[in-house]
C-alpha cells in the first residue's frame, strides 16, 4: 500500500473500514467487560445543589459535563497511566526493534490519552441513597438535594439518543490492569497483521492506528476510576456532542476553568411531561423540615406529587 498524497489526513488513508470495525468491536468488548446489573432498587441518585435541582425540573434534562471539566479534572488520565505503566514494563523486555519502536509510540499515544478536547460528556449518578460521601462531594455538604431516578426509565430516555450509554464505574485494580493489557495486546495484534503491507510508510500507519484506537477509548477511559473512589458506587450517563449541537452547550465558570455542559433529556418518551423521579431527598442542614415543605411545593408547581420528598438521616453539619 502506498503512502497517502501530501496534505491528506493519514488516518483516512491508513485506517480501513475493516480496521475501524475491529476497533469498534473491541471497544464494545471492553464496555461489556465492565458492565454489571442495575441495583435491585432500580433507583439511581443524582446529588446536586438547588440550582441543579431547579434546572432539572425546569428543563426535563440533566446537565452532562465534558469529562475533563468534572470536579476531579485529572481522573480521565487514570486508565492511560495504567496503560503507560504496562508499556514501561514491556519496552525493556522486547528485543524486536520494530515492536520496541511501536511500544514507545504507544506509550506516547495510548499512555497519554487526552480527551479534554473531545465531545465526550458524562452525568454522574450513585447507586447509594442518603450517602454521607455524596452529600459532602456533590451536595455541598449541607442544604443539598438528591434526586432518585428510576433507572429503567433513564435507559428508555437515553435509548433515543445515538451513542448514549448508562455505564457503571470500574474501580477494581485487577480489572484496570486487565483492560490495559487487553488494549495493548489488541493494538499490537492489529499492527502486526497490517504493518507489512505499508512498507516504508509503516511509521505513519502506526501513528494513525494508535490515534484511532485512542479515540475509541473515550467511554472506557471515563468509566475507569481509582479504587479509592469505590465508596461512591457511581454510574455514568455517557454521550457525545453531535453535529449541530454546539448552540445547546451551556458554559459555567468554575474557580479554575470554564466548564462545558450539554443538557440531556431524561423524559422517557417524547410525549412525557414528567421526569421519572422516584423521590427527592433533602440533604443535611439546619432547616430540613422547612426545606422539605418548600421542595414539596416546588414539585407541585412542576406537576409532580409533592409527597415525593424525604429528609436525609445523615447527622452531618458544617459548623
- Considering the domain boundaries, does residue 215 fall inside one? yes
Q: Is residue 112 part of a domain?
A: yes
Question: Is residue 49 included in any domain, yes or no?
Answer: no
Q: pLDDT (tens digit, 9 = 90+) per residue, 56-78? A: 999 999 999 998 888 765 677 89
pLDDT for res 67? 85
For residue 106, tell me if it sits in a domain: yes
**Domain total in the chain:** 1
Whether 141 is in a domain gets the answer no
Q: What is the pLDDT of residues 161-204, one digit of tens each?
A: 998 999 999 999 999 999 999 999 999 999 999 998 888 889 99
The range of the structural domain enclosing residue 211 comes to: 10-39+58-124+150-230+245-272
Which pTM value belongs to this model? Answer: 0.87
Contacts (Cβ under 8 Å, ≥6 apart) of 50: 143, 145
CB 234 within 8 A of CB 124: yes
Q: Is residue 256 part of a domain?
A: yes
Residue 300 lies in a domain: no
> What average pLDDT does the structure give for the chain?
89
Q: Going residue by residue through the chain, which has 319 residues, state the pLDDT in tens, using 9 for 90 and above.
A: 444 443 344 444 789 999 999 999 999 999 999 988 999 999 999 999 999 999 999 999 999 999 888 876 567 789 999 999 999 999 999 999 999 999 999 998 888 766 556 688 999 999 999 998 899 887 666 689 999 999 999 999 999 999 899 999 999 999 999 999 999 999 999 999 999 888 888 999 999 999 999 988 888 998 999 999 998 899 999 999 999 999 999 999 988 889 999 999 999 999 999 999 999 999 998 899 999 999 999 999 999 999 999 999 988 665 5
Q: Do the domain assignments include residue 279?
A: no
Amino acid at each position: 500500500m502506498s503512502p497517502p498524497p501530501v496534505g491528506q489526513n493519514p488516518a483516512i488513508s491508513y485506517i480501513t473500514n475493516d480496521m475501524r470495525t475491529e476497533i469498534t468491536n473491541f471497544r464494545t468488548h471492553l464496555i461489556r467487560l465492565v458492565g454489571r446489573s442495575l441495583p435491585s432498587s432500580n433507583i439511581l441518585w443524582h446529588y446536586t445543589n438547588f440550582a441543579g435541582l431547579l434546572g432539572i425540573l425546569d428543563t426535563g434534562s440533566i446537565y452532562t459535563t465534558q469529562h475533563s471539566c468534572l470536579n476531579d479534572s485529572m481522573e480521565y488520565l487514570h486508565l492511560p497511566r495504567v496503560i503507560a505503566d504496562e508499556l514501561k514494563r514491556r519496552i525493556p523486555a522486547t528485543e524486536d526493534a520494530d515492536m520496541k519502536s511501536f511500544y514507545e509510540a504507544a506509550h506516547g499515544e495510548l499512555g497519554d490519552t487526552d480527551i479534554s478536547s473531545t465531545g465526550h460528556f458524562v452525568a454522574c449518578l450513585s447507586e447509594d441513597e442518603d450517602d454521607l460521601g455524596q452529600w459532602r462531594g456533590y451536595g455541598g455538604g449541607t442544604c443539598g438535594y438528591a434526586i432518585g431516578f428510576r433507572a429503567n426509565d433513564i435507559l428508555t430516555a437515553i435509548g433515543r439518543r445515538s451513542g448514549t450509554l448508562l455505564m457503571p464505574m470500574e474501580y477494581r485494580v485487577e480489572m484496570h490492569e486487565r483492560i490495559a493489557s487487553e488494549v495493548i495486546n489488541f493494538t499490537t495484534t492489529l499492527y502486526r497483521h497490517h504493518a507489512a503491507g505499508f512498507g516504508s510508510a509503516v511509521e505513519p500507519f502506526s501513528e494513525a492506528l494508535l490515534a484511532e484506537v485512542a479515540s475509541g477509548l473515550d467511554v472506557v477511559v471515563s468509566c475507569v476510576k481509582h479504587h479509592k473512589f469505590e465508596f461512591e458506587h457511581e454510574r455514568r450517563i455517557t454521550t457525545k456532542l453531535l453535529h449541530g449541537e454546539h448552540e445547546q452547550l451551556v458554559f459555567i465558570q468554575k474557580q479554575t476553568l470554564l466548564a462545558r455542559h450539554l443538557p440531556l433529556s431524561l423524559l422517557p418518551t417524547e410525549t412525557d411531561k414528567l421526569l421519572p423521579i422516584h423521590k427527592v431527598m433533602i440533604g443535611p442542614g439546619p432547616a430540613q423540615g422547612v426545606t422539605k415543605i418548600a421542595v414539596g411545593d416546588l414539585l407541585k408547581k412542576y406537576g409532580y406529587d409533592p409527597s415525593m420528598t424525604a429528609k436525609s438521616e445523615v447527622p452531618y453539619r458544617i459548623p
